[in-house]
Structure 1
Amino acid sequence: MLDIAKLAGKIPGISQHFQQEMTASCQRLELAKTILKEAKNRQEELLESYEKWRDRLIFSAAIPMEPLDTRITIVPPPYSHSVFATDGSQISPSHHEIAYCYLINVGRVMLHYGQNLHPLLDSLPEVYYRPEDLYISRQWGIRTDEWLGYRRTVLEAQFLAEMACSWVKPPGAHHEPNLAMVDGSLVYWFLDGLAHDARDLILFPIQEAWEQLRAARIPLMGYLSASRSVEGVNFLRLHNCTFDTPNCTINCMDFGEEKAPCQVIEPLRDTTLWGESLQPGQRGPFWKSSARILDLYDESQRIYFCYVNVGTEIARVEVPAWVFEDQELLNQALGIMLAQVSKGFGYPVALAESHNQAVIRGGDRIRFFALLEQQMIRFGLQNVGTSYKEARKRGSIA
């Protein structure tokens, strides 16, 4: 139990710390705005420098595909359109439960506007209990609960493509504008460092699902609220470099714990910088992510992103290359996304509802294991029950 009286004495120190951080952040922001203006005038030069020295940089910088001062007002979507979204939740495996297994629940949402059609709001559960499901990841040193999160990402992509493509059929026929959305990034950073075989089991099914969406001309978008990315700000480090060439591996390896000369505005985030110049309903320039893991993606699936003032925050939205390169699909996706945020009072309503469909509450967990216990007893299994530790933790003498 948390002792609020004891905690209260620690709060003033936290407040004072964040006040100091806020003052420093404002100073960094003013400096960053000046650097951004200067970098705009040198953008072509900086791009050439990046292409020449990118393999010598010790930081990941996104590549601007448009002028740095780009400010474009997003066009509203047509009256009739559809939105598809998925999100997932899980019950992690525990040796203290009646059976060592895990469950993934994927919420699905399909919303239609201006078409007089019923929405789809449901969830699809998948249970994994076989040894090949529970222990396959251990050969690569990956914990089962960690592997569970990766498997959930795959199911979200597969169920999204299945739902959207089943509706938008046959390909090529006339359909109302639409958008497939996922919560979070399309850049799967967690794949970096995984064994090749493990990575292939995750990435290949996801890219197959994306390819189904591309074939059906259903734009895919990842929506990131409160993004912490600094990929755009990192591009400005090329402008801040004090050396003749931005060869980090030679120039900056001796700084150790000290900041390199180009890190004058860190840890400023992209959203903070672009939030200063974007009006509600506007987007900034599109960027091509240069995250190392994207080298494993097909060229048509490389990720581009921009920042959008959705009215309540600066959101980062990501799309695959095949969406970015199709102006019609891109404008369609951005317009529908902004309308979804408006309908959801600050967050895309389709994503919020898919989360609500997916979430597993305490009562759901209890009912799942109760149902499992009934079935195990019915099949003659003996001594079915939780561990003494788990049973004792569920009660209290206080």
Structure 2
Amino acid sequence: MNVKRIVARTSREAMRQLRDALGPDAVILSNRAVDGGVEVLAMPAEDIAAMAPPAVDEPVVSLSHRAAMRETPPETEPEPEVTIKRRLIERVAVPTEDSAQLAQSVISEIKSMQARLESQLADLAWRDLPGRDPAGASIMRDMLAAGFSATLAREMLETLPKGDAEQAQAWMRNTLMKRLNVMQSETDMLDGGGVFALMGPTGAGKTTTTAKLAARFVVRHGADKLALLTTDSYRIGGHEQLRIYGKILGVTVHAVRDAADLRLALSELRNKHTVLIDTVGMSQRDQAVAEQVEMLCQAGKQIKRLLLLNATSHGDTLNEVVQAYQARGLDGCILSKVDEAASLGPALDCAIRHELNVHYLATGQRVPEDLHLANRQYLIHRAFKTRTLSSPWQLDDSELAFAMSGIQSIQRESAVALG
């Protein structure tokens, strides 16, 4: 069985090469997009025809018999003879159910062999990494162990300069610090004023963080220049918690239900220096997230949206949260529950890849003490300091190849399914 694999920049170029190699009757088994162009798998028509079920044997007719048959009167002349070649062509052109199943089985087997080959090649490449590039292997291992994504680790590996493992570690941490955006000073936020909305899933700590920011503002500018809004009318007593904080701080708390209420409230509070909005928490997979974002965008006044990222959440969950809430853009994020997180790697990875400006770190329930300005050096140091050899998720060098090749295989399968 002669299966031809052709890779070209365009589909047209692939078809031209296919005709040159296998002729105009070649049968395409599969095609897909690959890096740099398209990949086509095909077979000659003769090979496909050979897989068709054998035709029913017809009686052998001698040449003399054929001559006699030609002399037979028209009304008794047998039907024209169909050649074996034409019969095979007809069977390929209009395949039977059995031949179609056979062709599908061949295609499935070819795809399976291709997937196994790609997986083995990736496995060999990563298995050879510790010996070929010890510095790169140490970076990959440490970043994965600290909770950073394989995607970010591979990006770092692609730009890693030559050097030993110690130099590579220093370069990695400095590069991560440069890529991590943080708010340099809270002066712009507290003194500049405006309307700020804290958003995020249920349990991320929005209400407590809103109270902490309110307390910081009151200390700096006084309670009469601040207003608090809440859209949380779903939870039983959801807005009561914020009202308690407001009463302690001497700040009025207003509840809004929809975009019309929000526009009216902001119009009435236009003389306030700063307005903080505590939004209702909902799952990142809830369709109401888009409605909430749209409500803030239609408020008639610019609202700066800050996303609460729960540092105790899994990296994939945080990635979903950012994707759900940044549909209309985000002005920054706040890392919450930092004191409870075993590793800050997933949250920092998400902030770096999505280029979010980290404003504050929330480290506890105390108001306003447990809110701190984000510091690059502390965050990167903390991310790698908490890594312990006793962790069940710790990889050694022999397992790194299996993990990385497996991740790449899953990503390839996902890309094929989406493509």
What TM-score, normalized to structure 1? 0.28
Which of 1 and 2 has greater Rg? 2
Q: With the length of structure 2 as denominator, give the TM-score of the two structures.
A: 0.27
